[in-house]
Amino acid sequence: MDLAYLRSHPHHLPTFLKHQRIRETPVAGGSIAAASRLTLDDGASLFVKSWPESTPTPEGFFTTEAAGIEWLRIAGGPPLPEVLVALPELLALEWLEAGEPTSEGAERFGRQLAVLHRAGAPAFGAEWPGYIGALPQDNTLSGQPWPRWFAEHRLLPYLRLSVDGGALSAADVAATERLINQIEVYGGAEPPSRIHGDLWPGNLFWATDGRAWLIDPAAHGGHRETDLAQLALFGGVPELGRILAAYQEEWPLADGWRERVPLHQLHLLLVHTALFGTGYRSAVRAAVDTLLGG
């Protein structure tokens, strides 16, 4: 099997893998899906993700990611890997060689991200099922104002899951609910932008071509400040200052955006308490207390 054959017959890939007709090397692919590098007969490499064999693949998990990649791929926007195979049981993407962050690459990415966001979306949400990590995410298209949509579709579901898992204390929950109930006071409402949706630093891939590539999206119509706030999580992406400066030159952010960073980060932080438990409790509480002035 070479790359030309694969593009013409993508549904044959699982059969070739099952019968070990392709060289496969496991690689680090994150905490959710199993990942490997495939080397085809013509020397081309692919990055392939599949669900662990011990559990069934959630419906639409890989096809949702593929749809998001294609939706985010716009002229002048950030680069994304080519989708070669998108099947219910696996996703095969163009292989990217890892490089180092550069100032030039960061500035170019900042401008490209602004172009992507400015492409817009018809509504908040998306026309495909949503996932954030291994968890479902409600992508029902909505014409609600952004603050209430964000509260109901991006904060409350993961607060409830975190409570069910015992990751947050009663005081944590009360403070977070108070924040959600007054979310409109933080302002920042905008029409929906075309966003990555899970843009923590691990999902910005610095390649040998000098560019910063988007990977692993949870793409939907959302608020552009969410992507930028997520880039600052967990230590922050390299060259974040240059990314933000270039973004601002391309499409300036609304007043008060810096004060809203913890609000936009709260979505992913609650996803982490829902998925991984109390280890992220202090980060959730810090974001809430900052917004409440505690």
What pLDDT, on the 0 to 100 scale, is given for residue 6? 87
Q: What is the mean pLDDT of the chain?
A: 94
Position 10 scores a pLDDT of 87
Q: Is 291 helix (H, G, I), strand (E, B) or coil?
A: helix
CA gyration radius, the chain: 19
Q: Which residues of 91-128 are buried (b: 16+ CB within 10 A; e: fewer)?
A: bbbbbbeebebbeebbbbbbbbbbbbbeeebebbbbeb
The CATH architecture annotation of domain 3-94 reads: 2-Layer Sandwich (3.30)
pTM equals 0.94
Question: CA 30 to CA 277: how far, in whole Å?
Answer: 18
For residues 262, 152, 224, 49, the Cα torsion angle rounded to the nearest 10 degrees is 100
Q: Which residues on neighbouring strands pair with residue 193, listed in sequence order?
A: 222
Domain ranges of the chain: 3-94, 103-292
- pLDDT tens digits, 234-263: 999 999 999 999 999 999 999 999 999 999
Burial-class residue 155 by CB neighbours within 10 Å (0-12, 13-18, 19+): buried
C-alpha to C-alpha distance for 231 and 240, rounded to whole angstroms: 7
Local confidence band at 294 (pLDDT 50, 70, 90 cut-offs): low
Q: Side-chain half-sphere of 76: how many Cα atoms within 13 Å?
A: 8
Lowest mean pLDDT among 23-27, 141-145, 238-242, 256-260: 23-27
Does position 30 have pLDDT exceeding 70, yes or no? Answer: no
Specify the higher pLDDT residue, 129 or 172. 172
CATH fold, domain 103-292, is Aminoglycoside 3'-phosphotransferase; Chain: A, domain 2 (3.90.1200)
* CB-neighbour burial class of residue 253 (10 A; exposed 0-12, middle 13-18, buried 19+): middle
Q: How far is CA 136 from CA 53, 94, 95, 206, 256, in A?
A: 19, 26, 27, 28, 31
Number of CB atoms found within 10 A of residue 282's CB? 11
Place 29 in a pLDDT band, splitting at 50, 70 and 90: low
What confidence score (pLDDT) does residue 57 get? 85
β-strand partners of 205: 213
Average pLDDT value for residue range 150-176: 97
* Choice among 18-22, 184-188, 194-198, 277-281 with the minimum mean pLDDT: 18-22
Q: In the 8-state DSSP scheme, what is residue 154?
A: I
pLDDT over 80 at 81, yes or no: yes
pLDDT digits (tens, 9 = 90+) for 189-242: 999 999 999 999 999 999 999 999 999 999 999 999 999 999 999 999 999 999
Q: Is 3 helix (H, G, I), strand (E, B) or coil?
A: helix
Give me the percent of the chain exceeding a pLDDT of 90: 80
Assigned token pair, 272: 């982490």
pLDDT band at 125 (very low <50, low <70, confident <90, very high): very high
Q: Which of 17-26, 84-93, 123-132, 267-276 has the lowest mean pLDDT?
A: 17-26
For residue 28, name the pLDDT band (cuts at 50, 70, 90).
Answer: confident
